[in-house]
Structure 1
Amino acid sequence: MRIPIPQALPATHGSLHNMSRPISSRLPASLALASLILASSPLAAQDWTRFHGPSGGNAAAPSLPASFTDADFAWKTDLPGTGVSSPVAWGNSIFLTTETDSSSRALLCLDLSSGKERWRLADSFDAHGKHRFNSFASSTPTVDKDRIYLSWTSGGNMLALAADHNGHKLWQVNLGPYSEEHGSGASPVLAGPALIVVNDSQGADGAILGLNPKDGTTLWKLPRRSDRTPFSTPAVFEESPGLWRVILSSNPAALTCLDTASGKVLWNVDNPQPGQRAVGSPTITNGICFATVGQGGKANAAIAVRIKDGSRLWENGKGLPYVPTPLALNKHFLLLGDGGILSSVNSETGTHSWSERVFQDQAYSSPVSSGDRIFCISRSGKIAVVSANPDSFQLLGTAELGDPCDSTPAIANGRLIIRTAHKLFCLAPKDAQP
């Protein structure tokens, strides 16, 4: 079914389209380098180190099948408890969080080759208000060669902690009050010298923090209070070798760029619709960052800016995802709307190349790409595999998981790892090595 294609609005002067800086049509050399670093190095590493991966949802695994049945999975395993966090992977290890009962949760480590549990780090928590679709294991871990890092809430406080690759807790810190009736959801990210944790809540003590990954001590703290607590995870890019930045999507600013060494604000872009909430995370491709905001279960506005200086390129108000994070694909953004429509959008102009319905039900999972294929998953566990061609839509295959799915999959060492409400699945090419 072909969907009418909405067109972007150019950023113009006025209350809604107030341009803070002139639009630049040329990509500076340093920004071209940043885009190259962002696009190339994570694919070579083959580790899936954070929510939606380190390269905007992309990984190099071209031999994954487009059509498959339950019998084609390399393995599947039952998970203790439930959760909506996404898996991450380092080497031959998978890490994810799960809510095991009404006051307990855990960080799990599983073997990538077999799906067998290696260890679990248990943690108790005090329950608090949350949305019926949320859980107390909704934040995705981030991982490096030394540690696995988490941030989650207990009672009215935001906590951050780290464990080593053998499951031993190394440190835990209380980052202060957290206030939000729908619970929490933003995931931590590593960016250069700092572990970035978002506690951008509605309370007076809201802040963005840069922590020392080794011991959890605070390197810097940026006070930041939102009218509507965001659930989005920061986007990361390396502007030049060793110079790391993060871009946050939230209210009161639609997008904020920070230097991760100091916490200094480099630029802010006003929210195109004040009072809206950021749920899906910002995505970067071609030196351009794209983010959406919304409320009431739907996205109402989107903005695209240059990551170098925050200059506005275009805005859009239709055919947008609210919960799913966009996929970076060459010079396009692939948008999976909550209502099941997949769209290809030119990053420079905001024009739609195509929009097609891939699901009849809702989708909260973010799309990921493996080589020349895009994998999309609906809330009911249906999978649509689409050609990774931003200029032309082609449905390559479909499958069903048989279990609800709100989590974003991971791709590591050629394998697609899918977390559903109760299970973990691994899809691997036939020639995959342990």
Structure 2
Amino acid sequence: MNNQIFALIAAAATGLTLNLGAAPAPASDSWPGFRGPNRDGKSADRGLLKEWPAGGPQQLWKADGIGKGFSSVSVAGGKVYITGDKEDKLMLTAFDLAGKKLWQVDAGPPWTRSHPGSRSSATLDGDNLYLLSGTGVLGCFDAATGHKKWSRAAADYGGRPGGWGYAESPLILGKMVLFKPGGNSCIVALDKTSGQEIWRSSGFSAGPEYSSCYAFAWGGKTMVATGTKAGVVGVDAASGRLLFQNDFSANNTANCPTPVFSDGYLVWANGYGKGGICLKLSPEGKAQEVWRTANLNCHHGGFIIEQGHVFGNDGGGWVCLDLKTGEKKWSERAVGKGSLCWADGQLYLFGENGGQAALATCSPQGLEIKGRVQVQGNGPSWAHPVVTGGRLYLRYDDNLYCFNVKSP
């Protein structure tokens, strides 16, 4: 998906029964939430370095002590936002583009059980930030000051966290903010300004798991897909009514990645030996399974769709698959198991252990490393790399790095 398609989603939403409202396409130099402007792992940046110098790109700044966590940065309006657990609190921090801390606020109680640390990435929309805590509290914060405007608890909708807490990042769609309490009201849409309920999903019941909601336009309809404990589901964006459900990866140890859609095909994948699945969607939202594969064993790091191919994490390395057939084109170790994003025709890979990131070609013909950079901290790190405004942001443990990747 690109910004043009994002605008089409908003336009389609405007005509829906509930008048979701049109949202402006994100600026090309912004990354307003998890996996980018369209939640597909792809940046609008252009004019970036095609190869890094020895030792990596120029480091512009480093912020340490941001707190323990696994969340990724969000960038917009000249500010960089990140979460982390410090002193038994979930902290939400804002920096300016020079790395100067602007403010830091207590965003609620942290998740203290299995794998403590912040999970959800903040989602920016205009003057507001939306954040879901590991304990299941969705908060709306003032993006300029960090002041909390309202909050809602997943438990109020009958939700219960999985074994690793709540980890999704809220989705803004027109006038709504979506999140997943789980249970009979698996997905809930709230008015993003007031926090009042608009709809609850219907037609299925499932645990929330750790996948985020993903919106896309197809056949004149706006749909929302996400992973759950019962598999992958798709609902109508206007009502929450179930459109499709597939039990692939149901009752897996953990279902973390967010689905991605392109040209009629929806791809979802998970770790713990599950691999990936591809569904072909009708304009009405019916889903037909096209292929399954063990070659997209993706734990946390995600995948992108480009040039009719899927590029993503596969166990201890990386893989490229044909979108329509699932045929494997290549597999490489590169930086090992990790996360990725795409910008200006290239892949940015970030290893979850060892703190190494790499620039690589994005081609079905093979993977070629074009540079590496090393950061410090203690793994594992499940944050995704972010490229926006000519900069690469890497969060590793309680350290945040910013590099210049703009071509001279």
1:36-51 equivalences in 2 (<5 Å): 45-51=28-34
1:76-91 equivalences in 2 (<5 Å): 76-91=62-77
Aligned residue for 2:14? none
Separation of aligned partners in 2, 1:244 and 1:382: 38
Aligned residue for 2:197? 218
Aligned residue for 2:139? 161
Residues 430 and 354 of structure 1: is their aligned pair in 2 closer, same or farther, counting only changes over 3 Å? closer
Aligned residue for 1:11? none
Q: CA deviation at 1:286?
A: 2.9
The question of whether the paired residues in 2 share the 8 Å contact of 1:259 and 1:266 is answered with yes
Q: CA deviation at 1:99?
A: 0.7
- Superposed CA offset, 1:46-72 (max 9, x none): 311221113411112332363253771
Letter in 1 for 2:34: F
Q: 1:373 aligns with which of 337, 341, 346?
A: 346
Give the paired residue count.
Answer: 376
Aligned residue for 2:258? 281
The question of whether the paired residues in 2 share the 8 Å contact of 1:66 and 1:373 is answered with no
Residues 36 and 123 of structure 1: is their aligned pair in 2 closer, same or farther, counting only changes over 3 Å? closer
Q: CA deviation at 1:306?
A: 2.4
Query: Does 1:260 find its partner at 2:227?
Result: no
Residues 261 and 358 of structure 1: is their aligned pair in 2 closer, same or farther, counting only changes over 3 Å? same
Residues 430 and 48 of structure 1: is their aligned pair in 2 closer, same or farther, counting only changes over 3 Å? closer
Q: 1:175 aligns with which of 136, 154, 157?
A: 154
1:8-23 equivalences in 2 (<5 Å): none
The question of whether the paired residues in 1 share the 8 Å contact of 2:393 and 2:401 is answered with yes
Residues 299 and 169 of structure 1: is their aligned pair in 2 closer, same or farther, counting only changes over 3 Å? same
The question of whether the paired residues in 2 share the 8 Å contact of 1:285 and 1:333 is answered with no
The question of whether the paired residues in 1 share the 8 Å contact of 2:67 and 2:91 is answered with no
Separation of aligned partners in 2, 1:100 and 1:233: 24
TM-score (norm 2): 0.84
Task: Name the stretch that deviates more: 208-217 or 279-288.
Answer: 279-288
Letter in 1 for 2:341: V
Partner SS, residue 261 of structure 1: coil
Aligned residue for 1:312? 289
Query: Does 1:418 find its partner at 2:400?
Result: no
Partner SS, residue 107 of structure 2: strand
Task: Name the stretch that deviates more: 382-391 or 68-77.
Answer: 68-77
- Superposed CA offset, 1:218-243 (max 9, x none): 111126543x65111122213377x5
Aligned residue for 1:390? 364
Separation of aligned partners in 2, 1:127 and 1:321: 24
The question of whether the paired residues in 2 share the 8 Å contact of 1:329 and 1:390 is answered with no
Q: CA deviation at 1:195?
A: 0.7
Separation of aligned partners in 2, 1:369 and 1:187: 19
Partner SS, residue 149 of structure 2: strand
Query: Does 1:357 find its partner at 2:333?
Result: yes
- Superposed CA offset, 1:376-414 (max 9, x none): 111221112111223332221222112243211222222
Separation of aligned partners in 2, 1:262 and 1:206: 12
The question of whether the paired residues in 2 share the 8 Å contact of 1:246 and 1:258 is answered with yes
List runs of 5+ in structure 2 lacking aligned partners.
10-23
Residues 116 and 85 of structure 1: is their aligned pair in 2 closer, same or farther, counting only changes over 3 Å? same
Q: CA deviation at 1:43?
A: 7.8
Separation of aligned partners in 2, 1:396 and 1:429: 12
The question of whether the paired residues in 2 share the 8 Å contact of 1:292 and 1:299 is answered with no
Residues 247 and 375 of structure 1: is their aligned pair in 2 closer, same or farther, counting only changes over 3 Å? same
Partner SS, residue 94 of structure 1: strand
Letter in 1 for 2:125: D
The question of whether the paired residues in 1 share the 8 Å contact of 2:83 and 2:90 is answered with yes
Aligned residue for 2:46? 61
- Superposed CA offset, 1:9-41 (max 9, x none): xxxxxxxxxxxxxxxxxxxxxxxx959958xx9
Q: Taking every aligned residue pair, what percent have the same amino acid on both sides? A: 20
Separation of aligned partners in 1, 2:37 and 2:259: 13
Separation of aligned partners in 1, 2:127 and 2:219: 24
The question of whether the paired residues in 2 share the 8 Å contact of 1:381 and 1:400 is answered with yes
List runs of 5+ in structure 1 lacking aligned partners.
1-32
Q: 1:407 aligns with which of 368, 378, 383?
A: 383
Aligned residue for 2:229? 251
Residues 240 and 44 of structure 1: is their aligned pair in 2 closer, same or farther, counting only changes over 3 Å? farther
Aligned residue for 1:8? none
Task: Name the stretch that deviates more: 41-50 or 278-287.
Answer: 41-50
Separation of aligned partners in 2, 1:36 and 1:221: 24
Task: Name the stretch that deviates more: 87-96 or 395-404.
Answer: 395-404
Runs of 4+ that moved beyond 6 A: none
The question of whether the paired residues in 2 share the 8 Å contact of 1:66 and 1:398 is answered with no
The question of whether the paired residues in 1 share the 8 Å contact of 2:133 and 2:166 is answered with yes
Q: CA deviation at 1:191?
A: 1.8
The question of whether the paired residues in 2 share the 8 Å contact of 1:64 and 1:370 is answered with no
1:177-196 equivalences in 2 (<5 Å): 177-196=159-178
